[in-house]
Structure formats: C-alpha cells, structure tokens
Amino acid sequence: MNSLTILGLLPLIGSAALFLLPKGSDLLAKQVALGVSIVVAIAGLGMAFSFNRSATGFQFVEKHQWIPAFGINYALGVDGISLLLILLALVLTPVVIAACWHEAEGGRWSVKNFFGLILILETMIVGVFAATDIFLFYVFFEAMLIPVYFLIGGYGTGEKAAAAVKFLLYSLFGGLLMLASIIGLYVISGNQLQAPTFDVTALSQLSIDPVTQRMLFLGFFIAFAIKAPLWPFHTWLPDAARAATPGTSVLLLGVLDKVGTYGMIRFCLSLFPEASKEFGPTIIVLSLISIFYGAFLAIAQGTSSGDGNIKALISYTSISHFGFITLGIFAFTEQSHSGATLYMINHGFSTAALFLIAGWMISRRKSERISDFGGLQRVTPIMAWLFFIAGMSSLALPGLSSFVSEFLVLVGTFARYPIPAIIGTIGIIFAALYILIPVQRALHGPITPGNENLTDLTLREKVSIAPVIAVIIFFGFYPQPLLDVINPAASATLSALQITGIMGGK
C-alpha cells in the first residue's frame, strides 16, 4: 500500500474506532480523535519531506484497477499544489479538534459522532486532492458533502437544517453538472484513445472541438465556482458559515472550498485550455465582482450598528479572498498562478485563525453580534490581540503570510491584465476597512455591559491556535519553502496551456 492510501485510511480507521466507543466516553473520544489527527499530520509532514521539489508531474503515484469495465482506476498522486493542500488539511484538523474541544456538546448527536465525522471528512479531503482519476475525484467530491451536511445540520446553531440542505443542494447540483461533463470527456476519450479513460494526464492530451470544449468546461467550472464560491454562485456560503460551528467553518471555508479553486487549476485549465482562454476574461470580471461584493457585504456587517454577525463577516471576507484566487488562476501568468496557489494555503490559515478565535469569543459571550464584543482588548487581551493578528493577515499586511500571495497575484495579473489588477488593488483598501472597522469598534471600543468578567484564553486554546499563528508569521517573512514546492507545478500547468497556444496566440 502506498503512503497516500495509508494517509487517507488512518483517519477513517480512527473514526471507526470512535463510532465503536461506548456511549458517554466523550473525553476518550476527543483524545482518540486528537491523537489520530496528530499522527496523521506528522505522517503527512514526513511524507512532504520526501517529496521531490525539483521534479514535475505526480509523485507518490499509485494505481489499481477499480471498475475495469468503465476504465475506472483507483489512482492517487500529488504534485506541489495538491501536496500543500493536503498538508493544509492535515495540519488544520488537529488544530480544529483541539480548539473545538467543547463545540460538539449540546449538538443533536453525541460528541464522539462529531469527531468521527471530522475524521471521515479528513479522509475525503485527502482523497479529493490526491485523486488523479476524475471518476475517483468525483466520488470523493460528492461523498465529502455527507459528513459536512451532518456536521452543519447536527451541531450547528440557528437555521442549521436549512443551511445544511442549501449547502448540499448547491453542491449536488454543481456536482451533477460536472458529472455530465465527466461523461462527455469519458466518451470523447473512448473515441480518441484506444480505450476510454478517466486518467487526468491522459485526458489532457485530447483534442476537443471548441463547442464541446466550452460546454464541458462550463460543467466543471460551475461546479467549482459553487464550491469556491465565486459570485454569483456564493449564496449558500453565508448561511452555511453562520449555522456551522466554528470548527466546521474552518474545515469548510479553509479547506473544503479550496477543492473549487484546486479543481479549476487541475481540471478546467489542463483539460480545456482553449475554453479556459476563451472564458478567462469573463471569469476575471466575476472575480473582481466577488472581491468587491464580498468586501462590501463584510463592511456592511462590520458597520451595522445592531446585528452585525461576526461569522457572516468572516464568510464574506472569504468570498472576497476567493475572488483574488480565481483572479490569479485565470490571469495565466506564472506569478499569478503561484500567488493563487499560495493564497489558497494562506487563506486556509488566516480564516482558521479568525473563525477559531471568533468561536471562542462567541462561546464566552454567548452572542454572535459584533457590537457585543466591545472592550475585549482590555478584558481578554490575548484573545483580542490574536484576533487582531488574524485580521491583519486577512487584510494582507506585509510581514504576514497573505501579503506575499496577494502581492504575487496582483503583480502577476498586472503583467497580463493591468486594469483588473489595479481595480483588484483597490479591493485591498476595502479589505482594510472590513477588518479595521470591527476591530476598532468592538475590540478596542468601550467595554460592552456583560463583558467585564469574560475569561481570557485557556492553555488548551493557546496551544491549539499557536501553530496557526506561527505559520502565518513564519511564511509571512519566509514564504520560499512553499514557493519552491508550488512553482514547478504552477509552471507545469502554464506550459501545458502554452503548448496549446494560450500565450503564443496573442
């Protein structure tokens, strides 16, 4: 068995163990979940060190026949992009488990089920990023909806059932469109190759006529745009983020939604270069709309006097950030691509920090309204400062990790599309507003009645958030290790595009 399979299997075994635990052994369940996820994270990091950074193409490849009648293989492999995304998931999972120690209490089902679902989700995430067979990718893409659905619906707050259903239906709808495109690709591969296949590398060699290519591209792209989420396919996200527990939101926005942008790079660009080129400008416009739309709504949440919701605010900032990522992807320059990939990682960490700290604020204050957090700076300084750092990372302050990626995206975009790049830069100013206004009004403002006796972070909370903050600061100053892994993959994607004339054409 290959290392990727083991990596994916470990959390699954852990979750099976959790489900078998007797009722009421909550503490043991948490410890088992944390232990398993830490082991998986260490295993993943160990694997990353044996990753050959200079080579292109997939590594840790493994391939077994699954349904030979349809040419379906169980095929796994990672390149720089998917390796980093898997690591992101593996690192964030133990952080979430430790940070959300008490989150599952009061849920619809038992605590052990919550952590069991999180571990299942971890398996699915490893699978979805590691799959090099499109069919396998689709299976993971759909299957991972189910644990998230139960995590939101069973342990969330407010309109959780409705939000869970909305999330599921949007994703299923996108997934089915993608299925139609996958079938189309499969049939075309049967016509052009000796045998029909789902192998990504083989499929990228096909020559597809423009009309079909456009249709198939849209099938994939809409699925990924819903997942990412890109305006105007984003409407499920604020509801889901508001209803989900902070831990679920971290996994949902920080990791799961990256499947959308990852899919655009891995599938849309490499399988349909001509159509990507054709739709590129349109998608750049959508990205810009996303940047500003997310920013405006976040500012609206931050400035509204009474009922600005902190979880909704963070989810809107994410829409804005995803706009930057898609902008980078469809600007088709090496810098913008590296930046977009780096952005995916950094956004994962900064959103995780924001959501987790916001979650602690909410659980202490028993309120999600931004105006209720007044004066936390004085009452709970550590929590307030950490939130401030996470916020600064979110607005891409130089010295924090997001800055590098945002800078690369904008510089890279400027090389090809100067005006969108300039417009995008204006978006950064709004980013400053949506972070600074709530920070200034709430955290630094006068103490809201009821906040006087709030306690600061416990040791467990400090320990669990420490790695995230460390990553944010470390990669802010020294992003090179990440870029070393990303750059070969990014240039490989782009050179594939170049061959088919996307750069040379103009």
Partner 1 sequence: MNAPNIEYGILGPILIVLAAALIGVLIEAFVSRRYRYILQTGTAFAAVALAFLQLVLIRQTSSKAAVSSMSIDGVTIVLQGSVLIFGFLGLLLIAERGFQSFTAQAAAIPGSNEEQKALVSGLQQTEVFPLTLFAISGAMLFPAANDLLTLFVSLEVLSLPLYLMAGLSQRRRLLSQEAALKYFLLGAFSSAFFLFGSAFIYGQAGSTTFDGIRKSIVESGGSDQFLLVGLALLTVGLLFKVSAAPFHAWTPDVYQGSPTPVTAFMAAVTKVAAFGAAIRIYYFAVGGLVWSWRPILIAISIVTMAIGTVIAIAQKDIKRVLAYSAIAHSGFLLTGIIALSKDGLNATLIYLFTYGFTTIGTFAIVTLVRDSGGEVSDLNRWAGLGKRSPLVAGTFTLFLLGLAGIPLTSGFVGKFAIFTAAYKSGNISVVVAGVLASAIAAFFYIRIIVMMYFSDPVEDGTSVVIPSAMTVATIAICAVATLVMGIYPQPVISAINSLAFFAG
Among 168, 228, 252, 259, binds partner 1 (CB under 8 A): 168
Q: Alpha-carbon distance 486 to 189, whole Å?
A: 29
> Using the rule CB under 8 A, which residue among 38, 161, 206, 503 binds partner 1?
161
Residues belonging to the chain: 506
> Which of 55, 176, 382, 463 touches partner 1 by CB under 8 A?
176
Size of the residue set binding partner 1 (CB under 8 A): 31
DSSP string, 112-174: HHHHHHHHHHHHHHHHHHHB-BHHHHHHHHHHTHHHHHHHHHHH--SSHHHHHHHHHHHHHHH
List 9, 39, 165, 503, residue binding partner 1 (CB under 8 A): 165
Q: Is 177 in the site for partner 1 (CB under 8 A)?
A: yes
d(CA 261, CA 343): 10
Pick 17 or 172: Cβ nearer partner 1: 172
Please identify, using beta-carbon distances, which residue of 70 and 474 lies nearer to partner 1: 70
Nearer to partner 1, 180 or 423 (CB): 180
- The residue (of 213 and 493) whose beta carbon lies closer to partner 1 is 213
Instruction: List the one residue from 6, 45, 70, 480 that touches partner 1 (CB under 8 A).
Output: 70
Decide if 445 contacts 316 (C-beta within 8 A).
Answer: no
What minimum distance in Å lies between the beta carbon of 184 and partner 1? 6
Rank residues 175 and 445 by Cβ distance to partner 1 and give the closer one: 175
Q: At a CB cut-off of 8 Å and minimum separation 6, what does 103 contact?
A: 114, 155, 245, 246, 247, 359, 363
Q: What's the gap between Cα 119 and its chain centre?
A: 17
Q: Does 158 bind partner 1 (CB under 8 A)?
A: no
Identify whether the C-beta of residue 386 lies closer than 8 Å to the C-beta of residue 357: yes
Q: Does 69 bind partner 1 (CB under 8 A)?
A: yes
* Contact present, 375 and 446 (Cβ < 8 Å): yes
**How many Å apart are CA 133 and CA 384, to the nearest integer?**
45
154 binds partner 1 (CB under 8 A): yes
Task: Measure CA of the first residue to CA of the last residue in the chain; give whole Å.
Answer: 47
Structure tokens at 125: 């995430």
Can you spell out the DSSP letters for 409-427? Answer: HHHHHHHH-HHHHHHHHHH
Tokens read off for 438: 């709530």
Kindly state whether residue 108 participates in binding partner 1, applying the rule CB under 8 A: yes
Give yes or no for residue 16 binding partner 1 (CB under 8 A). no
- For the segment 181-240, give every residue that binds partner 1 (CB under 8 A): 183-184, 186-187, 190
Q: Which is nearer to partner 1, 43 or 161 (CB)?
A: 161
C-alpha–C-alpha distance, residues 238 and 162, integer Å: 12
Q: Is 463 in the site for partner 1 (CB under 8 A)?
A: no
Contact residue for partner 1 among 61, 172, 193, 503 (CB under 8 A): 172
Letters for 27-66 (x = contact with partner 1 by CB under 8 A, - = none) are ---------------------------------------x
Instruction: Work out whether 138 is an interface residue with partner 1 (CB under 8 A).
Output: yes
Give dist(CA 278, CA 275) in Å, integer: 5
The helix (run of H) or strand (run of E) holding residue 312 is helix 310-330
Stretch that binds partner 1, among 125-133, 175-183, 376-384, 411-419 (CB under 8 A): 175-183
**Binding of partner 1 by 71 (CB under 8 A):** no
Q: Is 169 a residue that touches partner 1 (CB under 8 A)?
A: yes
Q: Which is nearer to partner 1, 154 or 246 (CB)?
A: 154
Cβ–Cβ < 8 Å for 499, 91: no
Q: Which stretch binds partner 1 (CB under 8 A): 23-31, 38-46, 126-134, 164-172?
A: 164-172
Q: What is the dihedral of CA 386, 389, 394, 395, to 10 degrees?
A: 140
Per-residue DSSP letters for 183-218?
A: HHHHHHHHHHSSS---BHHHHTT----HHHHHHHHH
Helix axes 381-394, 459-477, angle to 10 degrees: 30
- Residue 477 is a binding residue for partner 1 (CB under 8 A): no
Question: Segment near partner 1 (CB under 8 A), from 49-57, 169-177, 202-210, 491-499?
Answer: 169-177
| Helices and strands of the chain, counted as H and E runs | 22, 2
Min CB(177)–partner 1 separation in Å: 7
Contact residues: partner 1, CB under 8 A = 66-70, 108, 138-139, 142-143, 146, 150, 153-154, 160-161, 164-165, 168-169, 172-173, 176-177, 179-180, 183-184, 186-187, 190
